[in-house]
């Protein structure tokens, strides 16, 4: 394999063009065969439902080069299921799991030369997405869909790696409403959060931490990741109907239990901020990012001593990354080798 000429160790979390993407069309009631394309652009009708009425959902997962040179993806079936759940909630045609997996594997295999070398700290980010493409001017679900997968090599989302980030609790802007679609990966959820994130960045924070929209008293999640805290030997993470069910979080809960920690998935009051020993963000892009401090109503609660991640956060991060990259054996059956890599 002739690897792409990139500085893999210093990649940003940003789009970089790759060789191919995969497209599957839902037309006249059935899914087409996958098409592999080198075109980075789409031809869409200007009245497509996705452009006006928001039938647009996506997923994010990563592929890693293992020490033996094969490429593996982390829990792709979970992403397939979550895309289907998002589709059902937005009245879109759910993509069959085998169609999803086949498109993901084809996209990775076609871009093998962009998979960062093992232990470079980078990964191939995979972005499956689905949009309603039928031309409509009345508000109603599209009858036609495009399901597509592209890939791009990325470094960590929070550039500093295991260096703690600062968060601010957001009390003015809501990301998701009770009874809304905050538990789906709907594109509109991210537009709804941009005002809050951009304002927080201007103030020197990395992200905001949203509260439940109804009472503003329980922690939900941040704009692009779930939240966890460590209290003694307990891993705590918010249970809420308006957050995205993070696959990273679900996995880390298993690792935490296997490390002997108690795991509590429950409503987490913002009043508990002072009682955490460690805190962190969980997600495909964030992996496990330690949270050094959270500012709430002008008070800064700190969780990282001398600017370093705590011992439990560090241990969870190392174990997760070792499994994802194939450095350690995967006893959970989470990783799938991509055929043809
Ligand atoms: C809003 C939100 N919460 C949580 C997550 C983390 O989910 P996962 O671990 O499945 O990537 C993401 C994205 O990755 C997200 O966009």
Tens-place pLDDT, residues 166-206 = 999 999 999 999 999 999 999 999 999 999 999 999 999 99
What is the pLDDT, as a whole number, of residue 69? 96
Going from the Cα of 32 to the center of ligand 1, the distance in angstroms, rounded, reads 29
Please state, for a pLDDT cut of 90, what percent of the chain lies above it.
Answer: 92
Dump strand ranges (E) for the chain: 21-27, 30-31, 35-37, 56-58, 61-65, 71-74, 123-132, 145-154, 165-170, 207-211, 219-222, 226-231, 234-238, 262-266, 278-283, 287-296, 299-302, 335-337
Q: Is the CB of 246 under 6 A from ligand 1?
A: yes
Q: Is the CB of 60 under 6 A from ligand 1?
A: yes
Specify the pTM: 0.97
C-alpha to C-alpha distance for 142 and 29, rounded to whole angstroms:
12
Cβ–Cβ under 8 Å, residues 44 and 142: no
Q: Is the CB of 284 under 6 A from ligand 1?
A: yes
Q: Supply the residue whose CA is at minimum distance from atom 7 of ligand 1.
A: 246
C-alpha to C-alpha distance for 310 and 236, rounded to whole angstroms:
15
Mean pLDDT for 41-57 is 98
Where in the chain do CATH 3.30.470.10 domains reside?
Answer: 8-154
Where in the chain do CATH 3.20.10.10 domains reside?
Answer: 165-309
Q: Is the pLDDT of residue 110 over 70?
A: yes
Closest ligand 1 atom to residue 185 Cα is 16
Q: What is the CATH number of domain 165-309?
A: 3.20.10.10
List alpha helices for 245-305, DSSP H: 247-258
Closest ligand 1 atom to residue 221 Cα is 3
Residue 185 designated active-site = yes
Q: Is the pLDDT of residue 230 over 70?
A: yes
Q: Is the pLDDT of residue 267 over 60?
A: yes
CA 49 to chain centre: 25
What is the pLDDT, as a whole number, of residue 1? 80
User: 280: closest CA among 312, 307, 256, 246?
Assistant: 312
The residue with tokens 């609660």 is 301
Q: Is the pLDDT of residue 111 over 70?
A: yes
Which of the four pLDDT bands, split at 50, 70 and 90, describes residue 160?
Answer: low
User: 246: closest CA among 228, 263, 272?
Assistant: 228
Q: Which of 85, 167, 182, 284 has the most ligand 1 atoms within 8 A of CB, as the residue to mutate?
A: 284
User: 184: closest CA among 250, 267, 266, 243?
Assistant: 243
Going from the Cα of 225 to the center of ligand 1, the distance in angstroms, rounded, reads 5
Collapsing DSSP to helix, strand or coil, 44 comes out as coil
Q: Is the pLDDT of residue 335 over 80?
A: yes
What is the pLDDT, as a whole number, of residue 305? 80
What is the pLDDT, as a whole number, of residue 158? 58
Helix pair 247-258, 76-89: axis angle to 10 deg: 130
Q: Is the CB of 224 under 6 A from ligand 1?
A: yes
Count CA within 13 A, CB hemisphere, residue 204: 3
Q: Is the pLDDT of residue 156 over 90?
A: no
Q: In the structure, how many helices (H) and strands (E) does the chain have? A: 6, 18
How far CA 144 is from CA of 31, 130, 244, 252, in Å, comes to 10, 10, 26, 37
Closest ligand 1 atom to residue 244 Cα is 3
What is the pLDDT, as a whole number, of residue 44? 97
The span from the first CA to the last CA of the chain, in angstroms, equals 10
Closest ligand 1 atom to residue 78 Cα is 10
Count CA within 13 A, CB hemisphere, residue 188: 17
Going from the Cα of 27 to the center of ligand 1, the distance in angstroms, rounded, reads 30
| Per-residue exposure over 13-25, b if at least 16 CB sit within 10 Å of its own CB, e if not | eeeeebebbbbbb
Please name the fold of domain 8-154.
D-amino Acid Aminotransferase; Chain A, domain 1 (3.30.470)
Mean pLDDT for 222-235 is 96
Active-site residue, selected from the candidate residues 185, 216, 305, 308: 185
How far CA 106 is from CA of 34, 60, 118, 132, 312, in Å, comes to 9, 16, 20, 23, 37
CA 224 to chain centre: 7
Q: Is the pLDDT of residue 289 over 70?
A: yes
């Amino acid at each position: 394999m002739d690897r792409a000429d990139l500085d893999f160790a210093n990649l940003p979390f940003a789009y970089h063009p790759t060789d191919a993407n995969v497209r599957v069309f839902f037309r006249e009631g059935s899914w087409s065969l996958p098409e592999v394309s080198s075109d980075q652009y789409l031809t869409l009708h200007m009245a497509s439902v996705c452009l006006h009425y928001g039938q647009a959902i996506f997923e994010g997962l990563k592929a890693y080069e293992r020490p033996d040179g094969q490429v593996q993806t982390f829990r792709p079936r979970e992403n397939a299921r979550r895309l289907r759940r998002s589709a059902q909630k937005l009245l879109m045609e759910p993509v069959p799991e085998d169609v999803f997996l086949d498109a993901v594997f084809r996209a990775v295999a076609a871009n093998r030369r962009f998979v960062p070398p093992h232990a470079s700290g980078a990964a191939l980010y995979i972005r499956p997405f689905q949009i309603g493409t039928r031309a409509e001017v009345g508000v109603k679900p599209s009858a036609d869909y495009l399901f597509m997968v592209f890939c791009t090599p990325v470094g960590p989302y929070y550039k500093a790696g295991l260096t703690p980030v600062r968060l601010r609790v957001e009390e003015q802007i809501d990301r998701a409403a009770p009874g809304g679609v905050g538990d789906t990966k709907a594109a509109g959820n991210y537009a709804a959060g941009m005002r809050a994130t951009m304002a927080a960045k201007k103030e020197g924070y990395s992200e905001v931490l949203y509260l439940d929209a109804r009472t503003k008293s329980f922690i939900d999640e941040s704009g692009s990741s779930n939240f966890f805290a460590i209290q003694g030997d307990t891993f705590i993470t918010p249970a809420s109907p308006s957050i995205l069910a993070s696959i990273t979080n679900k996995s880390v809960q298993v690792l935490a239990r296997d490390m002997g920690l108690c795991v509590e998935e429950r409503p987490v009051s913002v009043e508990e901020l002072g009682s955490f020993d460690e805190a962190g963000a969980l997600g495909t892009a964030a992996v496990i990012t330690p949270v050094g401090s959270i500012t709430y109503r002008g008070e800064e609660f700190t969780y990282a001593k001398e600017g370093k991640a705590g011992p439990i956060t560090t241990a969870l991060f190392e174990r997760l990354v070792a499994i994802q990259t194939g450095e350690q054996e995967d006893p959970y059956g989470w990783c799938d080798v991509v055929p043809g890599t």
